[in-house]
Amino acid sequence: MARFVLKDTFYKKAKQEGFRARSAYKLQEIQNRFHSIKKGDRALDLGCAPGSWLQFLSEMVGEEGSVVGIDILPAPPLSAKNVTTIKADIRKTDIRGVLSEQAIDAFDVVTCDIAPNLSGIREVDDARIEELFGAVLQTVEAALKPGGHFIIKSFFTGIQKGIMEKLQKNFLKVSAYKPAASRSVSSEVYYICQGKR
């Protein structure tokens, strides 16, 4: 029963406050705890549609900053002037081309809320997740500045341990965090990776 109340609360709050999805509150909680996003930052959001993280990031980085969102699905345009969206599969995105279009060497922060299409067949899903995480990590490697922060959603699967190890190799500190806005029945967890090596 409690979880339905929770779902309803965040859903209604998102509607009232004009966020496109309740997910915005997950990123807000992460930000309140880890302070990864700063005014003036250039942020990259992977798996950005429908765009509630873009809305929150846009506010956090302010007018001096900018946000680029990438999703395989189109994200409805936002009125915020500091947000650009690109419809693309992250596995096939020319991230260096994105950097050059933005006229920057690197992003200050990368967020990733990508949810892979899962089949329910463990081996198939592990392979899909591994491929997707490989592409995301390559993107981060190429596009995040040294010292930059990375926030990524993950799921408990057979390769979970491997993901954590890869992140720890690339960042000074990695914390696993489950925001209250994340449904308690969901196995989703966020990794907050601070200080790219």
Ligand X SMILES: C[S@@+](CC[C@H](N)C(=O)[O-])C[C@H]1O[C@@H](n2cnc3c(N)ncnc32)[C@H](O)[C@@H]1O
Binding site for ligand X (CB under 6 A): 20-21, 23-24, 47-53, 70-73, 89-91, 113-116, 132
Q: How far is the CB of 172 from ligand X (least distance, A)?
A: 25
Residue among 107, 119, 114 nearest 41 (CA) = 107
SS3 labels along 76-110: CCCCCCCEEEEECCHHHCCHHHHHHHHCCCCEEEE
Question: Which residue in the shown chain puts its C-beta closest to ligand X?
Answer: 47
Lookup result for tokens 């914390």: 175
The residue from 7, 15, 153, 166 that is catalytic is 153
Closer Cβ to ligand X, 48 or 61, answer by number: 48
Q: How far is the CB of 158 from ligand X (least distance, A)?
A: 19
- The C-alpha atoms of residue 37 and residue 27 are separated, in whole angstroms, by 10
153 a catalytic residue: yes
Closer Cβ to ligand X, 29 or 168, answer by number: 29
Query: Distances from the Cα of 31 to the Cαs of 3, 74, 90, 92, 122, in angstroms?
Result: 23, 26, 24, 29, 32
Closer Cβ to ligand X, 9 or 168, answer by number: 9
Beta bridge partners of 46: 70, 112
Q: How far is the CB of 197 from ligand X (least distance, A)?
A: 25
Closer Cβ to ligand X, 134 or 147, answer by number: 134
- Give me the active site residues, please: 153
